[in-house]
Structure 1
Amino acid sequence: MIKGLYEAHLPVSNLEESIVFYKKLGLELAYVKEKLAFLWIIKGESWLGLWENETVNIPYHPSIRHLAFKVDKEDIDKAKAWLESLGIEVRTAFGFSPEMQPLVLPNNPHAHAAIYFNDLDGNSIELISPLRLDIPEDFKMMTLAEWKTNKLKLPSIIQQSKQ
């Protein structure tokens, strides 16, 4: 029955400036009316609603002011340079500085690479890509560079354990 997430919503203080910000990320304006705008994430599949509101500065909590955009595994390495080329600063997340991102989230039995930044109103935005699914392997959060190094070592570790 459920095929995916169609829409998500964020509060913004200036609708026009926020539209420019999200269009810079590649979203396409779909609809504007008074203090509401929808931008296509993927046309016909998912969109983002932006609501101009005086109470935009409610305290941050991921359940109300966080949005994660899925990106391809091949693009996550380029995400930080891409954001910087747009004038968007990567922010510290989970104790990982911008220089240490993308990071790998250990959501056992899954692993995801992610990079974090804020929109104009401090809403938390994440670019995320699944690295592997349904493989029970517990590990600590690490940088994507560390993940890749550890994955290169994995076949020799498996060979050693079989001997």
Structure 2
Amino acid sequence: MIKGLYEAHLPVKDLSRSIEFYEKLGLELASKNEKVVFFWIEKGKSWLGLWESEKVNTPYHPSLRHIAFQVDLNDIRQAKHWLLERGIEVREEFGITPKEPIVLLNKPHAHAAIYFHDPDGNSLELITPLQIDDAKVDVNNKSYLSEWKEKE
């Protein structure tokens, strides 16, 4: 029945500023009206709604105001540089300095990710799976992607 996530929504204070930011990420504007815009994440498959609101200052929690965009392994390796070229600073997450993508170990899964904020402080993430449903995921593995070694 369920095939994937079609849409997610975030509050923003200034729609014009947010449109500029999300276009820097390469998202295509799908629809716009006075208080809401939609960007295609993957055209016809998933999109992001941005709602202009005074409620932008809702306290952050990962269950609120967080979007993770899936990218492939080659792209995650270049993600920090790609973001910095667009004037977007990466941020620390889980107490790990963002010198490069970090490895998230949630046995039996492993992902590489890098984190940043949009202009309203919404938490954004670029993420790629490294190992899925693999009992060999080593929860003692290193924190950075360059140190990651898949288990044989």
Same fold (TM over 0.5): yes
Q: Give the TM bin, normalised by the shorter chain.
A: over 0.9
Partner of 1:12: 12
1:124 is aligned to 123
Give TM-score, length-normalised by structure 1. Answer: 0.88
Alignment-derived partner of residue 107 in structure 1: 106
Letter paired with 1:40: W
Letter in 1 for 2:49: G
Structure 1 counterpart of 2:93: 93
Which of the pair has more CA radius of gyration?
1
* 1:91-146 C-alpha deviation (Å, 9 max, x unpaired): 010011121x3000001101000000000000000000000111113414611112
Structure 1 residue ranges without an equivalent (≥5): 156-163
Give the partner amino acid of 2:82.
W
- Residue 81, structure 1, aligned to residue 81, structure 2: yes
- For 1:79 and 1:133, the matched residues in 2 are separated by 21
How many Å separate the matches in 2 of 1:65 and 1:97?
22
Secondary structure (helix, strand or coil) at the match of 2:103 reads strand
Match status 1:142 vs 2:140: no
Distance 2:120 2:104 in 1: 25
In structure 2, what is the equivalent of residue 161 of structure 1? Answer: none
Identity over aligned pairs, percent: 63
1:64 equivalent in structure 2 = 64
Between the aligned partners of 2:97 and 2:13, the Cα distance in structure 1 is 27
When the two structures are superposed, what TM-score results if normalisation uses the length of structure 2?
0.94
Q: 2:101 is matched by which residue type in structure 1?
A: P
**Structure 2: distance between partners of 1:134 and 1:127:** 20
> What RMSD, in angstroms, separates the aligned Cα atoms of the two structures?
1.2
What is the DSSP-based 3-state SS (H/G/I as helix, E as strand, rest coil) of the residue aligned with 2:148?
helix
Paired residues, number = 150
Runs of 4+ residues deviating >4 angstroms: none
Unaligned runs of 5+ in 2: none
Residue in structure 2 matched with residue 160 of structure 1 by the alignment? none
